Structure 1
Amino acid sequence: MTLERLWQVLDPLWADPRVLSALFCGSAAAVVLLKRLGHRRIQQKMEEARRARDLALERMEKAARRFKQENPGTQTAHILSLTMVELAEKLKEGSLSPESVLYSYMGKALEVNREVNCVIDFIHGCEDQLQKVKQQKEKGLLYGIPVSIKDHIDCKGHVSSAGLVKFLGQVKEEDSVIVQVLKSQGAIPFVKTNIPQTMINYDCSNLIFGQTLNPLNHQKTPGGSSGGEGALIAGGGSLLGIGSDVAGSIRLPSSFCGLCGLKPTGFRISKLGVISPITGMNSVIGMLGPIARDVDSLALCMKALLCEEMFRLDPTVPPIPFDEEVYTSSKPLRIGYYEEDGYFQPSPSMKRAVQQTRKLLQEAGHTIVPFAPPKIDYMVDELFTRGIFSDGAAHLVDSFKGDIVDPNLKSQFNTYKLPALVKRILAIILKPIVYRTEFIAKWRKQKLDVILCPVLGPAFNHGYAGKLFAATSYTNLYNVLNFPAGVVPVSTVTRADEEELKHYRGHYEDPWDKRLKEAVEGAVGLPVAVQCVALPWQEELCLRFMKEVENLSRGMRRNA
């Protein structure tokens, strides 16, 4: 049949409204049907992942129960009460066995998970690793220490999901470099922890494994994207976790959960074997780092990681071992500080934490110097926002094909889907600047050793993190600058803080300022932290400063 003949046959049909209506209805029904079939396939993949998690946790529970039955005299409560440094010493001297420690933490992690939903997989090879550790001739720095691992860091035989259906079923054939190094130092990676979908959010929710709660207050998020780590460690189910940080993803869970966390300089720790749904990050440097209950644990972890094994496995990592002399120094410091950045007004407790810590440092003999970060608005709008999505967020959006967007990510995701033309117009409006050089020049001019500043907090109520990405200006600044930055809890939210929050207006009195007030309210008794910063490659100095703050703030935490 020729095209003309076909048209003659169809032409009368187009004129019939009933036929047109049927065609349109049929097309719409087909679209709806295809969408439903697509959603059903997605749901099936999610259900399979949840079943796999449940089976893994059942296996973990059986192993922990078996050990408990066979070793009824194990002092679990005592083991769980020890700091990581104390535990490492007892394991090394042989007064505690690696088995008693591993299975005690397995049992506690299961207990915490039932309460807050933070564990997404049991690393079943941990029992084999336990036997290998016992047979090692030389005991590594982390001999027998159980370690929790963030979801997207590869572990052999397990999936790194990033909270996306796209990555489900992709079982990794080998460990990431950081997991290999941990094992070489005698550590025992034993669980993987939950994250927000895509990890570009500081909540901790995805449609595969659900919402993780803050163990200190279930109405609050534990933060993100290393939120599962924060929740598990704060709940007592782990004492050392490995997270990652692109805009504050180690520091925000540490702040929200009352923990210590370190974001190192980019490339000081290997990132080989870590997946990401984002490509083309230009001016923003993401990195891996530790989360723990105290600063000494962070220092021990860094000392263990910065070893010949890491430098051998990843020659792109500069072979700079940990400088113990810098960490243990007692030389007075010249400390720059700021109470707010001029972009997002801090909550009352954030500001008070810096003020009180500054006073304690001054009384301890350190020199305190006011410091104002230059051009924060340009840093956030130009260098951070454009730098993290230098491909126009195309790869991130593409990762959602065959997936469903988590409700907590929708407001952000809608921005990422803006047409390329709109993004280009925005890019013209936002003028690039040479920022890092300007910042360091100001630092040098004031002869600073380190900087004390706020970190976002206290913990947010559920649903707000995805609507307040700009509030990460206090943390994402140091991803753009690529400076090491750590978080130390120093106080708790008081009733006076909560009362003052009622009068919070923000810098611009816009919807985002109003949201911050709503996000942090109802936090009396929750931890408040500060941020400690050093120049690139000076992790040891950053940790030394964090240790000083930790020691000085002990009285403040008790009296809060």
Structure 2
Amino acid sequence: MEAAAQRFREQHPSVNTVSILSLPLPELSRKLRAGSLPPDHVFYAYVGKALQIATETNCITEFLQESETQLHRAKLMEKQGLLYGVPVSIKDSIDCQGHDSTLGFIKNLNKPAAEDSVVVQVLKRQGAIPFVKTNVPQSLISYDCKNLIFGQTCNPLLYTRTPGGSSGGEGALLGGGGSILGIGTDVGGSLRFPAAFCGICAIKPTGNRLSKRGVMAGVVGQKAVAAAVGPLAKDVESLALCLRALLSEDMFSLDSTVPPLPFNEEVYSSTKPLRIGYYETDFFTMPSPAMRRAVRETKQLLEEAGHTLVPFELTNVDYVIFNYCVRGMFADGGSSFVRKFKGELEKGGAGIFFWLAKAPHWLKTLLSWISKPFVPRFSSIMRSMKENTVDEVWGLHHEIQDFCHQFIAQWKKLNLDVMLCPMLGPALGIGYPGKLSVAVSYTMLYNALDFPAGVVPVTLVTDEDEEQLKDYKGYYQDWWDRTLVKAFRGGVGMPVAVQCVALPWQEELCLRFMKEVETLSLKKNSFL
């Protein structure tokens, strides 16, 4: 990368990379397609910047050297796709032909993918140039970003904080300005954590809206918690442009299991007032003062803009987390998860799940019973990590389906269009996510429901928020609550996001709502 960037600088000393890097994606894309900006100027501007951010945060695992060849081919392309000449970063777990998808495991090194994943194939057909792969936590089942091969990735806004995970390398690279568009995955918040922690935007679509062919999973084959592929970018308009490009004939012909639903422009560009449900807490993970304030302020801005805000009562989130998410993802008692780590455990990343998965069934039962009066959440996790019979797994899937229909019925009874929800923040200190697996409740709910959900940064942590952390107790006042408040501390000036949610297959409505939130927040913050 260094050699490529240096070579370009020597050959084109007058190119103003700063002005190129400051262009938002829609404008950059227009200039590239109009021919007023040469693709090689854009490509090498981002190669240089990505290299700088990688040096600071350790977010890149590999430079895709064939991207330079692809760049020259792009210049000769007759049909220019929507992402013509746009450099795109790709998460480690998404297959790129000739490159490893390691998932942070040494055993997966030197096993290059035979072909591009469908999403990468579509990006290329749309003229995009995948140029780097980015770091992940070992196994992907973590919202930190560390493994034995590439080490720890840091948050570009504050190096002592995690960039989130499992698309953490993407979050760090985009948050630092080293990429303009990234592709990641999400099975419990893995797109939304990095976006929220690094001050950018992301959307987790409905699980099957974008193809997952050629995308490696942390826990293969489980159906209880829906995984999704989605984009990360600096703003909502960029996410919309990416989905327009991906939801093309190419996607549907390359993977016929994906529903042929092109991007609905009418829904995205609609201006009619929305009816928006909202809640400040899920009564499982107590929100930080900044999280609560982010929801309240956004609610007020939306009401002032003419939208209707309706309180939504969340119930039984603890049951959803333990019985659907934990039990669903580790329905085999965690044995397949443990096998992956054989001989190469990165201490701390997978946290409690690894140690519990290894424990024999009798020990889990005993510990669950003993610990219930003192640490009820720990007890519930142990109880949820038992090995299930086929009959029990089928029963679980049926129960999740019922829960989803009940949730939708509650949504429709209130006649909602979309929902405004909290998003965990600010970014936790490095190492804390492994100790705080329970704090995924705000995001993982929408993987269990398989609803599209996006995050938009709306505010920064203030001194007052930090001061109010002194009163933070948590709902259980257990070890996890005491640890979470420590993880939140020291975040003054860090971004805090809100989550925007829509019903299944309504990604365009979700984006339209995100755009509204983004516009109102930017307007408010520019007046401060």
TM-score, structure 1 as length reference: 0.87
Give the aligned residue type for 1:520.
F
Pair 1:143 & 2:84 matched:
yes
Pair 1:426 & 2:363 matched:
no
> SS at 1:507's partner residue?
coil
Question: Which residue in 2 is equivalent to 1:38?
Answer: none
| Residue in structure 1 matching 2:266, options 307, 325, 345 | 325
Question: Which residue in 2 is equivalent to 1:390?
Answer: 331
Question: Which residue in 1 is equivalent to 2:416?
Answer: 448
1:423: how far off? 5.9
| Residue in structure 1 matching 2:183, options 242, 251, 258 | 242
1:134-283 correspondence to structure 2 within 5 Å: 134-283=75-224
* CA–CA separation in structure 2 for the residues paired with 1:460 and 1:293: 21
For residues 94-118 of structure 1, give each alpha carbon's deviation from its aligned partner in whole angstroms, at most 9, with x where no partner exists.
1101100001100000011111100
* CA–CA separation in structure 1 for the residues paired with 2:345 and 2:480: 26
* CA–CA separation in structure 2 for the residues paired with 1:360 and 1:289: 27
* CA–CA separation in structure 2 for the residues paired with 1:73 and 1:223: 37
Q: CA 1:421–1:281 in structure 2 vs 1: closer, same or farther (change >3 Å)?
A: farther
Q: CA 1:105–1:320 in structure 2 vs 1: closer, same or farther (change >3 Å)?
A: same
Give the aligned residue type for 1:479.
N
* Count of residue pairs the alignment pairs up: 501
* CA–CA separation in structure 1 for the residues paired with 2:298 and 2:477: 28
For residues 158-212 of structure 1, give each alpha carbon's deviation from its aligned partner in whole angstroms, at most 9, with x where no partner exists.
1110001121110112111100000000000000000111110000111110100
1:292-303 correspondence to structure 2 within 5 Å: 292-303=233-244
> SS at 1:197's partner residue?
coil
For residues 247-301 of structure 1, give each alpha carbon's deviation from its aligned partner in whole angstroms, at most 9, with x where no partner exists.
0000001110010000000011001111224123221000110000000000000
Q: CA 1:422–1:310 in structure 2 vs 1: closer, same or farther (change >3 Å)?
A: farther
* CA–CA separation in structure 2 for the residues paired with 1:310 and 1:423: 44
Question: Which residue in 1 is equivalent to 2:435?
Answer: 467
Question: Which residue in 1 is equivalent to 2:496?
Answer: 528
* CA–CA separation in structure 1 for the residues paired with 2:494 and 2:16: 30
* CA–CA separation in structure 1 for the residues paired with 2:525 and 2:193: 19
Question: Which residue in 1 is equivalent to 2:406?
Answer: 438
Pair 1:357 & 2:325 matched:
no
Cα contact 1:501–1:517 (8 A) shared by 2: yes
* CA–CA separation in structure 2 for the residues paired with 1:549 and 1:497: 21
More off after superposition, 457-466 vs 430-439: 430-439
* CA–CA separation in structure 1 for the residues paired with 2:427 and 2:64: 29
More off after superposition, 281-290 vs 409-418: 409-418
* CA–CA separation in structure 2 for the residues paired with 1:347 and 1:421: 37
For residues 346-383 of structure 1, give each alpha carbon's deviation from its aligned partner in whole angstroms, at most 9, with x where no partner exists.
00000000000000001110011000123211110101
* CA–CA separation in structure 2 for the residues paired with 1:426 and 1:282: 20
Give the aligned residue type for 2:75.
K
| Residue in structure 2 matching 1:537, options 492, 499, 505 | 505
Pair 1:502 & 2:459 matched:
no
* CA–CA separation in structure 2 for the residues paired with 1:182 and 1:555: 33
Question: Which residue in 2 is equivalent to 1:340?
Answer: 281
More off after superposition, 214-223 vs 271-280: 271-280
Give the aligned residue type for 2:61.
I
TM-score, structure 2 as length reference: 0.93
* CA–CA separation in structure 2 for the residues paired with 1:375 and 1:438: 12
Cα contact 1:166–1:399 (8 A) shared by 2: no
Give the aligned residue type for 1:442.
Q
Cα contact 1:163–1:208 (8 A) shared by 2: yes
Give the aligned residue type for 2:383.
L
* CA–CA separation in structure 2 for the residues paired with 1:351 and 1:410: 27
Give the aligned residue type for 1:304.
A
For residues 30-58 of structure 1, give each alpha carbon's deviation from its aligned partner in whole angstroms, at most 9, with x where no partner exists.
xxxxxxxxxxxxxxxxxxxxxxxxxxxxx
1:38-49 correspondence to structure 2 within 5 Å: none
Cα contact 1:166–1:402 (8 A) shared by 2: no
Cα contact 1:166–1:400 (8 A) shared by 2: no
Cα contact 2:162–2:430 (8 A) shared by 1: yes
* CA–CA separation in structure 1 for the residues paired with 2:20 and 2:353: 42
Give the aligned residue type for 1:323.
N
Identity value in percent:
56
1:2-81 correspondence to structure 2 within 5 Å: 60-81=1-22
Cα contact 2:356–2:364 (8 A) shared by 1: no
1:421: how far off? 4.8
* CA–CA separation in structure 1 for the residues paired with 2:49 and 2:276: 40
Give the aligned residue type for 2:407.
F
* CA–CA separation in structure 2 for the residues paired with 1:437 and 1:421: 35
* CA–CA separation in structure 1 for the residues paired with 2:247 and 2:178: 25
* CA–CA separation in structure 1 for the residues paired with 2:443 and 2:527: 27
Give the aligned residue type for 1:534.
A
Pair 1:120 & 2:77 matched:
no
1:403: how far off? 1.9
Question: Which residue in 2 is equivalent to 1:493?
Answer: 461
1:422: how far off? 5.3
For residues 213-267 of structure 1, give each alpha carbon's deviation from its aligned partner in whole angstroms, at most 9, with x where no partner exists.
1010011001000010000011110010001000000000111001000000001
More off after superposition, 428-437 vs 503-512: 428-437
Larger radius of gyration: 1
For residues 309-362 of structure 1, give each alpha carbon's deviation from its aligned partner in whole angstroms, at most 9, with x where no partner exists.
010110000000000111010010000000001111100000000000000001
More off after superposition, 536-545 vs 376-385: 376-385
Give the aligned residue type for 1:531.
Q
For residues 51-88 of structure 1, give each alpha carbon's deviation from its aligned partner in whole angstroms, at most 9, with x where no partner exists.
xxxxxxxxx21111111111111110100000001100
Cα contact 1:271–1:288 (8 A) shared by 2: yes
Is there any run of 5+ residues in structure 1 with no aligned partner, and where? Answer: 1-59
Cα contact 2:188–2:440 (8 A) shared by 1: yes
> SS at 2:350's partner residue?
helix
Q: CA 1:422–1:272 in structure 2 vs 1: closer, same or farther (change >3 Å)?
A: farther
| Residue in structure 2 matching 1:549, options 499, 514, 517 | 517
* CA–CA separation in structure 2 for the residues paired with 1:405 and 1:62: 32
